[in-house]
Amino acid sequence: MGGVLLAILSSAAWGTSDFLGGLLSRGRAAIVVVFISQTFGLLLLSVAVAVAGGAPPGLGELWPAMVGGLGLSVAAISLYQALSIGPMGIVAPVFALGAAVPVGWGIATGDRPSWLAAVGMVLAVAGCALAARPPGGGEPMRPAGIAWALLAALAVGVSMVGLAGAADASALWALETARIVAFFAVGAAAVVVHGRGLPRELLPIWPLPVVGAIEITAITAYAFATTLGLLSVVAVLASVYPVATVLLARAFLAERMSPLQGAGVAGAFAGIALLVAG
């Protein structure tokens, strides 16, 4: 039960950070917003690692976290590229399907969820995909946009598997390793895209530490959850964060939900209930 609760906390925190990050990215350089918020998250995590103490595990135990950090970077960059090409109504549901990677990996490596949990997984992922679709129609998606969205989904799925693989040795050191890799990868991408200067429209940056703190809370909760429960179940629960984003937009921005979105939210909650019960 502890793993389930941490995974739900992870999903709520991820959805909140996406909501706030999306607001701050309006009219600003999105990749630089990601880089700065993640930098504050890395600093916070480094303090936690220093306070906890203890020597880091060996490279043989931490290399999955390096893969996970690279996956997080590729996922963020690919997602923004996909959104720059096509409508969110197609990109977001495709991205939400990234949970299939850790689910498949978990089952292949020995996870045996109950039939009730299996039904819950299907409901949660399908509901998340529906909830992620914004109201209204959208223009057709070009093949390049679909390719970027699929790459983002695959990368985030790989990152979830990598973090879970290293968390058994040390969840905090796995997170620290992944964040350091992501820091350099996203930083390099930001320099390539925007040069060495800080975009003027990014200032002030004071809200970004909040986003970074919430996001690092999400990924920390996920890493610890994988040490307490089945990866296939934890990954699905942690991946329904678009539902939280949609509900926050409804509550604070008065954005209306389409009937499909409403059905998706209901389906996701039903799936979560079955996963908890299973």
List, for residues 198-212, the tens digit of each pLDDT value. 555 555 566 778 888
272 vs 250: CA distance, rounded Å: 20
Six token digits for residue 7: 């995974």
187 vs 41: CA distance, rounded Å: 14
Least confident of 16-25, 50-59, 120-129, 194-203: 194-203
The highest-confidence range among 64-68, 204-208, 242-246, by mean pLDDT, is: 64-68
List, for residues 161-195, the tens digit of each pLDDT value. 999 999 989 999 999 999 999 888 888 877 776 66
For the entire predicted model, the pTM comes to 0.85
For the cut 90, the answer to whether the pLDDT of residue 72 exceeds it is no
The pLDDT-based confidence of 73 (bands split at 50, 70, 90) is: confident
Q: What is the pLDDT of residue 196?
A: 55
Assign 3-class secondary structure to the chain: CHHHHHHHHHHHHHHHHHHHHHHHCCCCCHHHHHHHHHHHHHHHHHHHHHHHCCCCCCHHHHHHHHHHHHHHHHHHHHHHHHHHHCCHHHHHHHHHHHHHHHHHHHHHCCCCCCHHHHHHHHHHHHHHHHHCCCCCCCCCCCHHHHHHHHHHHHHHHHHHHHHHHHHCCCHHHHHHHHHHHHHHHHHHHHHHHHCCCCCHHHCCCCCHHHHHHHHHHHHHHHHHHHCCCCHHHHHHHHCCHHHHHHHHHHHHCCCCCCHHHHHHHHHHHHHHHHHHHC
- Please state the domain extents for the chain: 2-277
